[in-house]
Amino acid sequence: MIPVMPRVLSAGRRYLRGLSTEARAGLSGLYWSYLTHGFQLILRLGSSLILTRLLLPDAYGIFGPAMAVMFFLEMLSDIGIRPAVVRSPAGEDPTFLGTAWALLLVRSIPFAAAIVGLALVLPAWYEKPELFGVMLAIALRPILMALQNPTLFVLYRRLDYKTPFYLDTVQTLLATPATILLAWWLRDVWALVLGLLFGDLVRIILSHALFPRAPRPHWDRTALHQLAHFGFSIFLNTLVYGAWSYFDRLVGPRLLDAEQFGLYVLAWSLAEALDTLISRGSEVFYSMLSRKEGDERVAFFHRTARRVAIYLIPGLVVAAILAPWAFKLLYPPKFQGAAVLFGLLTARLIMRATSHLQFMYLMMRGQVHLATRAYVFSLAILAATFVVWVQTLGLGVLGLAISSVLAMTTFALAQTVQMVRRREASPWPVLTAIIWTAVAVVGVLVLHCE
Encode pLDDT of 158-185 as tens digits: 778 888 888 988 999 999 999 999 999 9
Confidence band for 38, pLDDT divided at 50, 70 and 90: confident
Question: 274 or 374: whose pLDDT is higher?
Answer: 374
Give residue 7's pLDDT. 46
Note whether 150 and 214 are within 8 A (CB).
Answer: yes
Query: 152-156: which pairs have CB atoms within 8 A and are 24 or more residues apart?
Result: 152/207, 152/211, 153/81, 153/82, 153/85, 153/86, 153/91, 153/97, 153/100, 154/85, 154/91, 154/92, 154/97, 154/212, 155/211, 156/82, 156/86, 156/283, 156/287
Confidence band for 363, pLDDT divided at 50, 70 and 90: confident
Q: How far apart are CA 27 and CA 161, in angstroms?
A: 11
Note whether 426 and 420 are within 8 A (CB).
Answer: yes
Share of the chain above pLDDT 70, in %: 90
How far is C-alpha 203 from the chain's CA centre? 18
Least trusted range by pLDDT, from 83-87, 256-260, 370-374, 444-448: 83-87
Share of the chain above pLDDT 90, in %: 54
Task: Please tell me the pTM assigned to this model.
Answer: 0.79
Question: 344 or 155: whose pLDDT is higher?
Answer: 344
Q: How far apart are CA 162 and CA 445, in angstroms?
A: 40
Question: 239 or 244: whose pLDDT is higher?
Answer: 244
Residue range 313-341: mean pLDDT, rounded: 94
